[in-house]
Amino acid sequence: MTIYYHKKFSYNLLIKFFRNFMQFAHPLPKDEVMFYQFSDMDCYGKSFVLQTNDKYSDKFYDSQISSLEALCDVYLNQMNSHPAFDIPNIPKSRNIVPSVRYCYYKIEHIIEKVSLYNTHFYSNASNIVLYIINILRECKETKKITKKCSFNELKNFFDSEFMESPIIKKAPIKLQYYSKYIERHLKDERFIDSSEEIVCQAISSFANIYDKDTMFIIPNLADELFNTFVYLENGYKEFDLLVKQILQNSTTDRMSLLPLKILLRKYKQVFHIKHSVDRMVVRFSIIRTTFSRLYLLSPNYLKNSLQSRTNSNSPSTPKKIPKTNPIKKNNPIIRATTVPNTFNTPKSELKIKHTTKHQRNSKIEYQTEMNNISLTTPETANKTNTQHNILNQSNQANDQICNSVSDEVLNSNDHFFEVCEILRWFSPNAMKINSNLLNDKMMDIPFVNLVNNEPLLKDAAFFISDTQFLTCPLDIIASVYYSLKMIEQFLHKCSFEKKVGQFAWMFDNDKKNGTNFIEFDDIFPLFCLLFAYSPPTNALAIGNAVMSFCDIKLSHSFDYSRLFFKSAVDFILSYKIANLINESMISDDEELSDPLGLNTSQVTE
């Protein structure tokens, strides 16, 4: 017998089951997964109904049938009698911390899953018993073959299979764990338990997910526990003092994080850190907490940095453009009339061909309102829910950027998004992407449609767009890094399918996170198209932020990723809208010498 256990780590874990393929079992919903796989009926008939040479009387068969019918009734009753568990009372309060609410959800989920497993198991067990009863009745009536059922073995088999299943064995342990956690935290519902011991355990646990190749660890529970520990200890006083010191010593091009070494030495002693990997977990928690406080104390930081950088760019300073130009001559171009308007809403009527100052303001107003709707949290939100507050403050800073920066910065934002609106509808052929990298059928498809039909590209676009909601530069760079890995997987998939076949990728056992064979000149135009598909609303500020901080050692892949992001932003800004959409300059039969205006003499300063 094989136990099948549906397992998925998610805060919104839904109980799903596959369609029941057994004809003898009670039907289950289409999308249900079977926790337990039963064999065919004949298998149980051969295992528990033995053929003998002895002749049995009708009384013997009646006795066996009666015992099996009683066992069937027991299983039918157990099918509707779910196991009982002792769980804590759930108070109806909205002020419960998220971790306690999550434990309530997990308890309900475990009980529901055990109930479904119980119903599924005993419904099939009762059908198997009925099948064996029919075999014995047939033997009694025909008297051609004599058979008997090993009643005790059958009963012991089902009892053992049920009790030894992982779901039944683990359920009491999990329920006890969550119940104790709830009872411990209901005494003070405001805070998550972030004692020194709990934080040390979290640091040791999450050290296992540290990636030595990228020198990065994804955001985890240890960050939240550390954040709460710091708040309960001194209310972020030390962090706020160091953040002010960092801001005072920072310039438009450089943000030194050397003062954080003081905090690292302190908490290394507080949590008794001995291993280097544990030290990296604390390091990332300190950095994330620092940038959370930075955006709370200085919500205008991105605005000031972006405006200062824009003013510091003198007209005589040439923009740096990648040496290899992926946009070459004779590009097929999409006319302005065919480019859809992504900001075409009742509150925003942005036109690509004729953009007025009023329309630019409408666009910015639309972006600001969208941020407020989706990201603003109530002022009465729990102060310990730091990430929600940080996200709210960060997007308020983005709103201030849109509303109060200089005209030069505002024009740059407008220009950037107008170019993105056009580029996202270009085909790979239009961008002169190497045809050896993609399938032939993809070369003439608009990139918007290509992304919508390719899960790998859609995931890559999600990572790029997700950067606008992150506050820590290391997390932003990691998101760009994961996007590049998705692009490399996509190109590897296309290359593999061209060599072997369209569906061979599904059976490729050598799939890797990265292919390491893609050159910069090949992947950069594809990354720019993907960037234009769903650009971050504060892409210019992000590009400046990831390049300004220093004194933190980055892996080569992360350093490459942040340069990639900044190069893509500068590259898109270097396009000239007039050469893209001016219909008087473009004709169907005209050979375009430089449709995107990338000659150094035409670069927008």
Q: Give the pLDDT confidence of 412-436 residue by residue, as tens digits.
A: 778 888 888 888 888 888 888 888 8
Give residues with Cβ within 8 angstroms of 516, minimum separation 6: 488
Nearest to 222 by CA among 211, 210, 233: 210
In angstroms, rounded to a whole number, what is the distance separating the alpha carbons of residues 326 and 579?
Answer: 17
Topology of the domain comprising 315-359+405-585: Glutathione S-transferase Yfyf (Class Pi); Chain A, domain 2 (1.20.1050)
User: How many beta carbons lie within 10 A of that of residue 52, not counting itself?
Assistant: 10
Whole-angstrom Cα distance, residue 416 to residue 259?
35
Q: What is the pLDDT of residue 142?
A: 74
Q: How many CB atoms lie within 10 A of CB 106?
A: 18
pLDDT of 277 = 93
Q: What is the DSSP letter of 533?
A: H
- The pLDDT of residue 175 is 86
Query: In the prediction, which pLDDT does 160 show?
Result: 82
pLDDT in tens, 482-504: 999 999 999 888 888 877 765 55
Among 470, 462, 605, smallest CA distance to 542 is for: 470
Calpha distance 295→302 (Å, rounded):
9
Would you state the pLDDT for residue 347? 31
CA distance 167 to 117: 8
CA distance 570 to 563: 11
Q: Which residues contact 52 (CB under 8 A, 6 or more apart)?
A: 146, 147, 148
Alpha-carbon gap, residue 35 to 110, rounded angstroms: 13
Cα–Cα dist 57/451, whole Å:
73
Based on the number of CB atoms within 10 Å of its own CB, is 588 exposed (0-12), middle (13-18) or buried (19 or more)? Answer: exposed
Residue 194 CB burial class (10 angstroms; 0-12, 13-18, ≥19): buried
CB 422 within 8 A of CB 339: yes
What pLDDT, on the 0 to 100 scale, is given for residue 266?
92
* Tokens at 209, concatenated: 């997910």
pTM over the 0.85 mark:
no
Q: Is 533 exposed, middle or buried (0-12, 13-18, 19+ CB in 10 A)?
A: buried
> What is the Cα–Cα distance from 217 to 206, expressed in whole angstroms?
9
Burial of 183 (0-12, 13-18, 19+ CB in 10 A): exposed
**Amino acid of residue 121:** F
For residues 242 and 290, the answer to whether their CB atoms sit within 8 Å is yes
User: In three state form, how does the secondary structure of 406-456 look?
Assistant: CHHHHHHHHHHHHHHHHHCCCCCCCCCCCCCCCCHHHCCCCHHHHHHHCHH
CA distance 330 to 256: 46
Residues of the chain with pLDDT under 70: 1-42, 45-46, 50-54, 86-97, 143-146, 186-193, 252, 302-411, 501-518, 578-605
**How many C-beta atoms surround the C-beta of residue 42 within 10 A?**
9
471 touches 398 (CB < 8 A):
no
Q: What pLDDT score was predicted for residue 537?
A: 87
Quote the tokens at residue 474. 């290391």
Q: Which of 291, 285, 267, 288 is nearest to 207 (CA)?
A: 285
Domain boundaries defined on the chain: 2-185, 196-298, 315-359+405-585
Q: What is the pLDDT of residue 134?
A: 83
- Sequence letter at residue 129: V
AA letter at 79? M
